[in-house]
Structure 1
Amino acid sequence: MEKIQHHGKRADAIVKGMLAHSRKSTGEKIPTDMNALADEYLRLSYHGMRAKDKSFNADFKTEFDPTLPKVKVVPQDIGRVLLNIINNAFQALNNEELRMRNEGFKPLVTVSTKNLGDKIEISVKDNGQGIPEAIKDKIFQPFFTTKPTGQGTGLGLSLSYDIVKAHGGEIFLDSELDKGTTFSVRLPI
Structure 2
Amino acid sequence: KTLTDLNALADEYLRLSYHGLRAKDKSFSAEFKTDFDPNLPKLEVVSQDIGRVLLNLINNAFYAVNEKAKSGIDGYLPEVIVSSRKTETGIEISVKDNGNGIPDSVKDKIFQPFFTTKPTGSGTGLGLSLSYDIVKAHGGELKVESVEGEKTEFLIQLFA
Q: CA, structure 1 residues 105+71, in 2 after alignment: closer, same or farther (shift >3 Å)? A: same
Q: Which residue of 1 aligns with 2:47?
A: 75
1:117 partner SS: coil
Higher-Rg structure is: 1
Tell me the CA shift for residue 177 of structure 1: 1.4
Q: Which residue of 1 aligns with 2:93?
A: 122
* Residue pairs, 1:50-129, within 5 angstroms: 50-95=22-67, 99-100=71-72, 102-129=73-100
Unaligned runs of 5+ in 2: none
- Conserved 8 A contact 1:98-1:128: no
Amino acid in the other structure paired with 1:49: L
Identity of aligned residues (%): 67
Within 2, Cα distance between the matches of 1:42 and 1:176? 23
**Corresponding residue pairs, total:** 160
Tell me the CA shift for residue 99 of structure 1: 4.1
Amino acid in the other structure paired with 1:79: G
Within 1, Cα distance between the matches of 2:91 and 2:129? 21
Q: Which residue of 1 aligns with 2:21?
A: 49
Within 1, Cα distance between the matches of 2:55 and 2:131? 9
Amino acid in the other structure paired with 2:132: Y
Tell me the CA shift for residue 88 of structure 1: 0.2
Within 2, Cα distance between the matches of 1:112 and 1:31? 19
Q: TM-score, normalised by structure 1?
A: 0.83
Tell me the CA shift for residue 98 of structure 1: 5.5
Within 2, Cα distance between the matches of 1:187 and 1:127? 24
Tell me the CA shift for residue 117 of structure 1: 2.2
Within 2, Cα distance between the matches of 1:124 and 1:162? 18
Q: TM-score, normalised by structure 2?
A: 0.97
2:133 partner SS: helix
Question: Per-residue displacement from partner, 1:109-148 (whole Å, max 9, x unpaired)?
Answer: 0000010022100000000110000000000000000100
Question: Per-residue displacement from partner, 1:8-53 (whole Å, max 9, x unpaired)?
Answer: xxxxxxxxxxxxxxxxxxxxx1110010000000000000110110
Within 1, Cα distance between the matches of 2:68 and 2:12? 27
- Conserved 8 A contact 1:99-1:105: no
- Conserved 8 A contact 1:59-1:108: yes
* Residue pairs, 1:141-156, within 5 angstroms: 141-156=112-127
Say which structure is richer in strand: 2
1:149 partner SS: coil
Q: Which residue of 2 aligns with 1:17?
A: none
